[in-house]
Copies of this chain bind each other. A is one copy, B any other.
Amino acid sequence: MAQNIYDDDEFFAAYSGLRRSVLGLDGAPEWPTLCSMLPPMQGCRVVDLGCGFGWFCRWAAEAGAATVLGIDLSSNMLARAAADTCDDRISYQCADIDVVELPEAAFDLAYSSLALHYLVDLPRFMATVGRAVVAGGAFVFSIEHPVYTAPANPRYVTDDAGNESWVLDHYSIESSRTTDWLAPGVVKQHRTITTYISCLQRAGFTLEHFVEWAPTRQQVVDNPEWTIELDRPQFLLISGRRT
């Protein structure tokens, strides 16, 4: 089972204040790229795995999805998602996606934003998604990039000339990592890109898109503090087509 850190009061309060929590999809710099990887939404049956506040669920319905099921472990987040949603095509389910079962061949699109790096059992999850998506359907997901989750003590270091570098270590050692992001003791599962891709393929998907998100030139101009993001990708966006 994944850790339910989003129902930790300290974490939830901090998370609720993040730009992406306040502004939704428009507050997530990787969203335009992730959005460009999605299939046409008209008539789509969608499942959002780790739906959080339901921003994507509502976007998908507005974009024409036939049905949208949002699943999340956090009752805190789902309470706000339900309060913010008024559309009977959208339903929410409180469940741990690390163990949840899904109906077979029931979805045209499975979507997951920044949730899979919390999963303990990725192969089981991928196989479940592979059975739930119809042939020709898509699985589009984002994760924290493995070079971001790898280090034992994630940080930048500065050399004598003032140049900053990200530290990278333990990349090939797959196991949990405990960090103090927003609250102490947040547990993530580090896996290599190799593992993400091979799990996706074994679940019956062909790789379609693979994007290591970095800010554009314009985004760096608008947000100079993002320059450091060019040193190492923070997000990895992947899509697969079910064969």
Residues of A in contact with B (beta carbons under 8 Å apart): 147, 151-153, 157, 159, 163-173, 192-194, 197-198, 206-207, 210-212, 214, 229-233
Contacts and interface: CB of A to CB of B under 8 A. Distances in A.
A173 B232 CA distance: 10
Contact of A230 (B157, B167, B170, B211): B170
A167 B158 CA distance: 10
Contacts of A153: 159, 163
Contacts of A165: 151, 157, 167-169
Given A167-B168, A194-B210, A197-B210, 9 more contacts: A151-B165, A164-B169, A165-B167, A165-B168, A168-B231, A171-B212, A171-B233, A193-B210, A207-B207
A232 B168 contact: yes
Contact of A168 (B147, B207, B214): B147
The 5 closest A-B pairs by CB, nearest first: A172-B214, A165-B167, A165-B169, A169-B231, A166-B168
